[in-house]
Structure 1
């Protein structure tokens, strides 16, 4: 029986749009978490009824509460639905990820134990090709096979440096987090921060469609004085492959312009966010 009275320690926002097969795998992943005191808030950018039906079914199968936040389909409006999801979060601390990223069993715990006032956390992901994305089953997620580099190699994953994302632990993962040249930016697929900080910069800029709206939020957090922690080798999820039909040169160009303005003017607040 789920306790509806207790406020969860963590709210996990999962964005989705008409991708039930992938979303189910992600929800299975959250059902394996070692840290249990969280809710999952689905930020649904206008999916068909099949997503709602899946969530009703999964609510009966998983230990955590699922909150479904939906808006009418109006093209790619991820920033808008994420703002609605942030407003719906019950916890003071929010993890954001996508409905195509299966979390490793320690995913929520790593975010939880590393959270700190005045910081947000930047995690990474491990990209999987389509054939492996398809063949991952519930059992593979329960046994954590999809995070096991030997299992993945058997399926054809090549030997590359990025495999360290799955194999590194303890001091090695700390060292790799420290030396990586990648910026500790706000990444929509794997980041976390305090709800009050996100509200203080007014959430996502809803003018922004595909391409960098997550980074722009992070840039305003930096301007506000929030620092970031690099945990790309500690907070681990695997990214399932998919097409990106919503990626257009126009949306990328528009977003690049908005990000330039944010940096140049050291903007903290967007007038196109949660508070209109």
Structure 2
């Protein structure tokens, strides 16, 4: 089984460097890395080229399109369409993944399931304080460090720091009542399952596009399973100038409607066509 890590990014070369440093520290490395770039400028391309030259294994490919506003779904579709891997793990370029992150996603890989995790969020002040050494050493995943950075704000967040042995945390994954929705910053699926639903709906802008994909996967017979407490990652804070409250409201209603209708295929995905009868 070939594994590819797909990293979505946009004009954030600093966080992307930290993210890829956490990838380099994985106990299980992917066979390849795809940077799905939603129109970044030359600084991001230069950072990717520098990292790829310094660490040629696993190989990094850079998939880019012109900046036309928030079109994350479109660039992820291009990444999926051009991938040669069987199993795809998705993160954002502003997250730091635990050393066991990819291994856990792979251990839970099933053709009839997608996996989805969650985030431990840093505020802007804590984000500015993160160094490469914090990432490489694993300090950013230590409870003491996260507590100092004000990231452990509730019991559920504390559980995401994996305070108990993995079998216990895995049991909590299965028991959690939280909806099994696709989380774009922490998700995985077999490529064939994503192709069967035609990938992301590119008409969905920020706020709901990830969940919409998860609903269509579930409708197709590929429901979600939680890695909420066994595949943690730390999210770096950033501005969201592209967020539109009206789009988010409309997208939520669309997701609810698709859950009721059983929709599987989008004509606005990897292939721009209605589903063949």
Question: What is the root-mean-square deviation of aligned Cα atoms in Å?
Answer: 1.5
Q: Hey, what does 1:54 align to over in structure 2? A: 47
Check whether the contact 1:103–1:236 (CA below 8 A) recurs between aligned residues. yes
Looking at structure 2, the residues matched to 259 and 157 of structure 1 have their Cα atoms a distance apart, in angstroms, of: 30
Looking at structure 2, the residues matched to 39 and 222 of structure 1 have their Cα atoms a distance apart, in angstroms, of: 27
Alignment length, in residue pairs? 269
User: Are 2:22 and 1:29 aligned?
Assistant: yes
Runs of 5+ in structure 2 lacking a partner? 273-277
Q: Hey, what does 1:270 align to over in structure 2? A: 266
Q: Hey, what does 1:146 align to over in structure 2? A: 140
Q: Hey, what does 1:4 align to over in structure 2? A: none
Runs of 5+ in structure 1 lacking a partner? 1-7
Looking at structure 2, the residues matched to 257 and 170 of structure 1 have their Cα atoms a distance apart, in angstroms, of: 37
Q: Hey, what does 2:87 align to over in structure 1? A: 93
Looking at structure 1, the residues matched to 13 and 259 of structure 2 have their Cα atoms a distance apart, in angstroms, of: 37
- Residue from 150, 162, 174 that aligns with 1:178: 174
Looking at structure 1, the residues matched to 112 and 162 of structure 2 have their Cα atoms a distance apart, in angstroms, of: 30
2:240 aligned counterpart, secondary structure: coil
User: Are 2:14 and 1:11 aligned?
Assistant: no
Looking at structure 1, the residues matched to 9 and 20 of structure 2 have their Cα atoms a distance apart, in angstroms, of: 12
Residues 255 and 200 of structure 1: CA distance in aligned 2, closer, same or farther (over 3 Å): same
Looking at structure 2, the residues matched to 123 and 193 of structure 1 have their Cα atoms a distance apart, in angstroms, of: 12
Check whether the contact 1:17–1:45 (CA below 8 A) recurs between aligned residues. yes
TM-score using structure 1 length: 0.93
Runs ≥4 in structure 1, deviation > 3 angstroms?
154-159
Q: By how many angstroms is 1:170 displaced?
A: 1.5
Q: By how many angstroms is 1:154 displaced?
A: 3.3
Residues 35 and 220 of structure 1: CA distance in aligned 2, closer, same or farther (over 3 Å): same
